[in-house]
Amino acid sequence: MENTELLRYRRALKRKNYSAHTLKSYMNILDHFVRWAPVPFSEVTCKEVGLYVDHLLRKRRTPKTITCHLQTIRLFFEYLIQEEGIPMANPVTRISIRLPKPLPRHLKDDQVTRLLAMITDVRDRAIFMLMLRCGLRVQEVADLTVDAVDCQRKQIFVSKGKGGKDRIVYVSEDARSALLAYLSKRSAKGKTLFLVQKGTMRGQSLSVRGIQKRMEYYARKSRLNVSCHRLRHTMATQLLNADADLATIQDLLGHGQITTTQRYCWVANLK
């Protein structure tokens, strides 16, 4: 009975153009659940699903894997209820596993020095100094306009950052010097601050992916495990190590919740 339902479900997913990899993954999970389940599908309740979670935990499955199992099983029960007409409540709707959030990773001072030594292009140096000293996100850097930069007052207006929020960030002296060096050689008249420098796209806005690819290039060159976002983490950690208060760092980073900023405390305390 249940094997027949699984076969019909597999055919239904195939008609929806699910990939072969996804089908195999779903069927493996459901087969595991069927073999474990002490009752027929129609009698499964939240209690059985909870016991199944305990079973997976005893097998030392990670929260991410358990969540994947629950999502797959929930979709299967949705199919049974909506397509097969089984009169029951979906037993997985209120079951969830809380995934642990990894601590932000930052660069040590000697790693920062090593990375910056590799970045000689004036545009790229200005880009990554803004991330490192101002804590800008890669999307925020890509969206910057020339008018948003006030080198005289050493500040940048970030328009519609994450969550659609505006904020002002302050520019350190070394970041200001990098910006001025770039602006002095920037010949194009585009509104966007950072532009493509070579090829058929020359003079057009530099994309997020374009910035990320430059970082990947410098990561390989310096042999460091570094990303654009890690520069932002580094800035926050450096401020905490310099005894800046959390509220100030929250404003500079544009965090909606101070609990997000508090995660950096663990990193700072490990130094």
**Choice among 74, 154, 229, 263 that is catalytic:** 229
d(CA 244, CA 264): 12
Closest CA to 140 of 187, 148, 235: 148
Q: Would residue 217 show up in a list of annotated catalytic residues for this protein?
A: no
137 a catalytic residue: yes
- Our answer to whether residue 220 is catalytic in this structure is no
Active site residue 10: no
Q: 106, 123, 232, 233: which is the annotated catalytic residue?
A: 232
Count, residues in the chain = 271
| Spatial CB neighbours of 173, under 8 Å, sequence gap ≥ 6 | 154
Name the token pair of 6: 């699984």
CA distance 197 to 11: 51
Query: Would you call 98 a catalytic residue per the annotation?
Result: no
Task: Measure the CA–CA gap between 68 and 254, rounded to whole angstroms.
Answer: 31
Q: Which of 26, 182, 218, 264 is catalytic?
A: 264
Active-site entry in 137, 176, 214, 233: 137
The one catalytic residue in 160, 162, 213, 271 is 162
How does DSSP classify residue 108? Answer: -
Decide if 153 is catalytic. Answer: no
Catalytic residues: 137, 162, 229, 232, 255, 264
